[in-house]
């Protein structure tokens, strides 16, 4: 049985959505852990869900990065364990230095709540095995989802193959019109160099069954058990 820890900070609101979505994946069980006493020993993977941690004061994820749970998450990731951050979780991972770049206010300065399309750029992460070039449809709900980086970091991220998801139209074209928040190079999600930490702004947990309007999020989450069963590429095992 694959064990997943779902981290809950003050202001997190998507932890139960993730727990339900993960309950649909055979061979996976999950626990919601409070940030002050989060101990990730014995867990195979960790999820940092969406929300407004600490009210997004200062900026999204800036206070959460100082939490005991985030310190434990760094240790966990450094040991090669699998980490997924969605929306506010992506922001926290970037603020904590576990992923490159930063998330800032949407270019239009509006909160965006909509369905978007994104193309899977990499299939060498534990969350995207077998999905390369797939165009997924997922919901977003964020006001600070614009991924930015300096020129050197952007060049490194592109050259090292760390772009995992890119906003596109339904045919997979990365056009300006398909970019909901102004992210550089239409980037919707990235990974670390080790490929074991992945973050994205869309919500896979919100499209994990047909009742919710789509199942493409399940396609991402369902990769977890096979990745930990020894069938994952050695790069992130």
With beta carbons less than 8 A apart as the criterion, state whether 163 and 121 touch: yes
Summarised one tens digit per residue, pLDDT across range 188-199 is 999 999 999 999
Summarised one tens digit per residue, pLDDT across range 201-215 is 999 999 999 988 999
Averaged pLDDT for residues 79-101: 97
Compare 120 and 2 and report the one with higher pLDDT.
120
pLDDT value at position 81?
95
Which residue's entry shows tokens 């949407």? 106
pLDDT value at position 232?
44
Query: What confidence category does residue 227 fall into, taking pLDDT thresholds of 50, 70 and 90?
Result: confident
**223: helix, strand or coil:** coil
In degrees, rounded to 5, the angle at the alpha carbon of residue 100 between the alpha carbons of residues 162 and 135 is 40
pLDDT value at position 230?
56
Instruction: Out of 15, 121, 205, 207, pick the active-site residue.
Output: 205
pLDDT value at position 234?
40
Whole-number Å distance between alpha carbons of 147 and 105: 9
- Assess whether 203 carries a catalytic annotation: yes
Percentage of the chain exceeding pLDDT 70: 96
Q: Give all domains of the chain, ordered by start, each with its CATH number.
A: 2-236 (3.40.50.880)
Percentage of the chain exceeding pLDDT 90: 84
Residue 136: pLDDT over 90: yes
- Assess whether 87 carries a catalytic annotation: yes
- Assess whether 205 carries a catalytic annotation: yes
Query: What confidence category does residue 235 fall into, taking pLDDT thresholds of 50, 70 and 90?
Result: very low
Instruction: Out of 35, 87, 95, 191, pick the active-site residue.
Output: 87
């Amino acid at each position: 049985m694959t064990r997943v820890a779902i981290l809950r900070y003050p202001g997190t609101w998507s932890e139960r959505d993730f727990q339900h979505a993960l309950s649909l994946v055979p061979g996976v069980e999950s626990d919601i852990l409070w940030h002050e006493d989060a101990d990730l020993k014995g867990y195979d993977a960790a999820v940092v869900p969406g929300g407004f941690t600490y009210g997004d004061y200062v900026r999204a994820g800036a206070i959460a990065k100082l939490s005991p749970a985030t310190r434990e998450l760094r240790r966990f990731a450094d040991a090669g364990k699998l980490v997924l951050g969605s929306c506010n979780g992506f922001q926290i991972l970037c603020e904590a230095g576990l992923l490159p770049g930063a998330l800032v206010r949407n270019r239009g300065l509006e909160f965006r709540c909509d369905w978007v399309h994104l193309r899977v750029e990499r299939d060498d992460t534990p969350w995207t095995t077998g999905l390369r070039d797939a165009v997924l449809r997922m919901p977003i709900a964020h006001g600070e989802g614009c991924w930015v980086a300096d020129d050197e970091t952007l060049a490194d991220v592109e050259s090292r193959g760390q772009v995992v998801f890119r906003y596109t139209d339904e045919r997979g074209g990365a056009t300006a019109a398909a970019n909901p928040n102004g992210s550089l190079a239409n980037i919707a999600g990235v990974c670390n160099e080790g490929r074991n930490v992945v973050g994205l702004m869309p919500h896979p947990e919100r499209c994990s069954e047909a009742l919710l309007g789509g199942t493409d999020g399940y396609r991402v989450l369902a990769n977890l058990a096979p990745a930990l069963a020894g069938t994952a590429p050695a790069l992130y095992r």
